[in-house]
Structure 1
């Protein structure tokens, strides 16, 4: 008899991130991921970007910014006294830690370095590097590909100093390029006098970068298709190769050939300047596809078990809501084994994403600006259920029980009811008459249709009828009146009953 199969160990993930006196956070604040992906809503000025900045710096390749030389650059500017220690702490699901602080980098540095080789930290400005920042010139992706997009991609060492002398050693593309730049002045004065090791190093770089670009080219069509951009085709990215240029003057010695042109076919028309023709949504999708293809190409070389971390900060602001949903599908299809942190300032998008994303795989939280009158305002971080309707109920209950805001609680209960009946109609596949204007469909229309549902073995018809009848009653008596000016003086208990009615309704939908 063969031995029983042994379950593979759980994937190593980021368990928590703590910011202390770092940028917008004057006091310690911990974000608990527990190995899950994280969806964050943050209103403008709340500190959301500080989360992105912390992750981007902590997992930067080859190392975080020089904290020892700029020890006050990252601390909160309003906390007194100035000069207090600051830190960014990452704890992983295996208990290992990495800390970046004003005193430097501590903890498991090899783990941090491995994560940094794979991690992708993208914000809207990063996407602009693939198009808008080039003005009216052709888009040259050399710098962004070598220093960011494929920075950690390993290419074989040329086997000559100053590179590793082993012909099998791997050197990250960005490190390889940095080394070539350090020896630029040694190119010499004449073409015939260029050192052999520089020529060999350029040949190795050229071959390695083109191999990496081939991997990116193979991934781009599928990503553009999944992003619903079937009309666009990126012409294969290619690199002509570095050629050392000799000169008498040291400052003129350089490498020619630093070009990777971005050319696009759109509906059969060749675009050498796609950023001057395509609209914002298509350019954003194009930039996102290029970045994601680069990350997926890079991790094809991954050998360790370090987390693959993808952090997206408001990269979708140039894409309308109808084209944002495919991005979520891409994350689930192509990045299922990555740990994703998705940050947004768009509350509607946040709620939409919570409804769409798998609930067991995602943690959610909201970040709000702290008391502006405080000497050092502390952002307010509130964990949120990955279920929009239940999150609204949670707010309603908090307002009612903890603060005694009856009117506000009733209003949130009404919002939960309206979202809940729409979700229920979708989950139960309730058919509705077509309306030209979807906004004209009222919550009551959904509830009326839902009342005829016959239930299941898990949800008896009698329980369903009782729940929907009570929901309709409390909607008319409590939730609707409190959503209008001059609301009647409805007892606190009736608002609590309305919250309970919506909760029972959602529980039945979940049990179906």
Structure 2
């Protein structure tokens, strides 16, 4: 069982509607997100969705701060048992709670959701009597859902029942015997699973290559009849490094070794937890502060030991993000950035769609706030990208986020890179682009003016792209398709459109080493084979696939001259726009650093 889609609406940082499509096969996900971008909110969406029924969590407690009650909201997660099986969608909201499905309840017992603070809990616990005692953390968190094979009860549940029992007076021998029998079952069951946990953790530790071993010492809980209490409820973490025992490892070992020990214990617990159809592992910057050599073993661990889990890796370290992308080329990647207005904020989610495409989507739903944020982001990213590519001098600030956006814009204007007409149009639209308007101002802003601003920024992007990246053959063909369409030469326009489409998808298949049915010579390979190779690997989202299918008669099928002569100009124009969108998407996948 794998998650195929995550839909968020007005959940924590996620104002408005956001969809993450993981494809029919349910691809694992690598997420890059700067601080404050909503990365942790995405982690919480997955975690709280899975736990919402078991822990009786109300959605209203996690609704986005900037929306009213009437805006509602939800987290929806879709999943499939295989890529050929039907998709099932479950919703968690104030109105609907479908998370009582057995597959989700089972997943709540096996999921792993770790961040850096989770690792700290192991080696920075307050030590008792010069020891690191993990009993409470193990019973209430790490092994909370593990089953005692002797009683078939969860350890957290069983221990809670034992704690509720009062230690009887010594005269009540029958009640004392009942309590001791319950403790014997608990002790024997816990000792058995601790041995499994230790062995699995030792296997994981070997991947890090440190001369470190651990043991989890548990003597068993017993009844202190004299003081009428329970004693021995402790599990001592014993660490041996270079054959030397360390009872307080955090005082002697470095952070890399401590993190490796903590991560090994947490991951080992996932191996001994009850089985379930859906196994989810979320790692949110668990390796923060470690150098790259100490992070790389985690990649091998995930590949070798957790290939049956649905994994979500989150980080704010761009270098680590790029390394993960290279090691897991089939995984989906996503970038989150913080977007701000004067009285609101929301994550900017960068997937296959460009910022301007997202701005248009929100404008069509009359969400001016979200449209303006994506519009400003598109403008900002393009200006910074252009200044970097052209080595333009910008007034220095230690924190680059503090450089005013106007500094980049004025630098470009001084260089005379754009014509006077575009400068004039940009000046008209700058109130929506450069100045973050308030929610109230945007609510009354004319839709036409925001649309005009989007069109102007698109023209600016094209102008700057043409300077940095000379037109490729595909771009030349697209330009010719547009020119012939303006001249009402539908036949020639369609020819160049098909040529641009063919060149781009063949180029992409070669760059990504995709497999197509071999024919010699290669020009006999049907165009559809290249297209099928791309969509089979889920490189593009469903909406773009649908648009290509809508206009396939102009793109892939060679219509007759007579058919093209009567074809609506608007349809051919829409087909050209769709192929252009496809080109941008494929460019971003092959060269993510060159296409903002």
TM-score tier (shorter): 0.5 to 0.7
Question: Partner of 1:467 in structure 2?
Answer: none
- Cα offset, 1:341, TM superposition: 0.6
Find the partner of 1:280 among 243, 255, 260.
Answer: 255
Question: Partner of 1:36 in structure 2?
Answer: 27
Counterparts of 1:315 and 1:511, CA distance in 2: 33
- Cα offset, 1:18, TM superposition: 2.3
Q: CA RMSD in A?
A: 3.5
Find the partner of 2:204 among 209, 223, 234.
Answer: 223
The answer to whether the 8 Å contact 2:4/2:21 transfers is yes
Aligned residues: 390
Task: Specify which structure has the bigger relative contact order, considering alpha-carbon pairs within 8 angstroms and separated by 6 or more residues.
Answer: 1
Counterparts of 1:104 and 1:116, CA distance in 2: 19
Residue 335 of structure 2 aligns to a residue whose secondary structure is: strand
Deviation string 1:255-302 (CA, Å, 9 cap, x unpaired) is: 32111111111122111110111111211111001111111122xx52
The answer to whether the 8 Å contact 2:334/2:349 transfers is yes
Deviation string 1:41-96 (CA, Å, 9 cap, x unpaired) is: 111111111111222222339813542xxx643222222x3586443222112423
**Alignment partner of 1:18 is 2:7:** yes
Question: Partner of 2:587 in structure 1?
Answer: none
Counterparts of 2:45 and 2:228, CA distance in 1: 37
The answer to whether the 8 Å contact 1:58/1:88 transfers is yes
Find the partner of 1:92 among 66, 75, 79.
Answer: 79
Find the partner of 2:63 among 75, 81, 103.
Answer: 75
With over 3 angstroms needed to count, the CA separation of the structure-2 counterparts of 1:365 and 1:59, relative to structure 1, is: same
Find the partner of 1:372 among 315, 338, 341.
Answer: 341
The answer to whether the 8 Å contact 1:19/1:29 transfers is yes
The structure that is helix-richer by fraction is 2
Residue 203 of structure 1 aligns to a residue whose secondary structure is: helix
Deviation string 1:434-470 (CA, Å, 9 cap, x unpaired) is: xxxxxxxxxxxxxxxxxxxxxxxxxxxxxxxxxxxxx
Residue 156 of structure 1 aligns to a residue whose secondary structure is: coil
Question: Partner of 1:121 in structure 2?
Answer: 113
- Cα offset, 1:253, TM superposition: 5.5
Question: Partner of 1:233 in structure 2?
Answer: 213
Structure 1 gap segments, 5+ residues each: 1-11, 159-169, 386-397, 416-482
Residue 497 of structure 1 aligns to a residue whose secondary structure is: coil
With over 3 angstroms needed to count, the CA separation of the structure-2 counterparts of 1:500 and 1:37, relative to structure 1, is: farther
Residue 340 of structure 1 aligns to a residue whose secondary structure is: strand
With over 3 angstroms needed to count, the CA separation of the structure-2 counterparts of 1:232 and 1:411, relative to structure 1, is: farther
Deviation string 1:164-185 (CA, Å, 9 cap, x unpaired) is: xxxxxx222222222223x323
Find the partner of 2:134 among 141, 162, 186.
Answer: 141
Counterparts of 2:73 and 2:206, CA distance in 1: 44
Larger Rg: 2
Question: Partner of 1:345 in structure 2?
Answer: 316
Residue 219 of structure 2 aligns to a residue whose secondary structure is: coil
With over 3 angstroms needed to count, the CA separation of the structure-2 counterparts of 1:105 and 1:204, relative to structure 1, is: farther
Question: Partner of 2:438 in structure 1?
Answer: none
The answer to whether the 8 Å contact 2:50/2:99 transfers is no
With over 3 angstroms needed to count, the CA separation of the structure-2 counterparts of 1:499 and 1:145, relative to structure 1, is: farther
**Alignment partner of 1:45 is 2:20:** no
Question: Partner of 1:495 in structure 2?
Answer: 468
With over 3 angstroms needed to count, the CA separation of the structure-2 counterparts of 1:74 and 1:107, relative to structure 1, is: closer
With over 3 angstroms needed to count, the CA separation of the structure-2 counterparts of 1:414 and 1:92, relative to structure 1, is: farther
Residue 154 of structure 1 aligns to a residue whose secondary structure is: coil
With over 3 angstroms needed to count, the CA separation of the structure-2 counterparts of 1:153 and 1:511, relative to structure 1, is: closer
Normalization by structure 2: what TM-score?
0.59
Find the partner of 1:214 among 188, 195, 200.
Answer: 195
- Cα offset, 1:346, TM superposition: 1.4
Structure 2 gap segments, 5+ residues each: 81-85, 354-373, 392-410, 419-462, 475-503, 515-596
The answer to whether the 8 Å contact 2:31/2:313 transfers is yes
Question: Partner of 1:162 in structure 2?
Answer: none
**Alignment partner of 1:63 is 2:32:** no
With over 3 angstroms needed to count, the CA separation of the structure-2 counterparts of 1:58 and 1:279, relative to structure 1, is: same
With over 3 angstroms needed to count, the CA separation of the structure-2 counterparts of 1:488 and 1:328, relative to structure 1, is: farther
Deviation string 1:228-257 (CA, Å, 9 cap, x unpaired) is: 3x22111x323211223457xxxx864321
The answer to whether the 8 Å contact 2:53/2:99 transfers is no
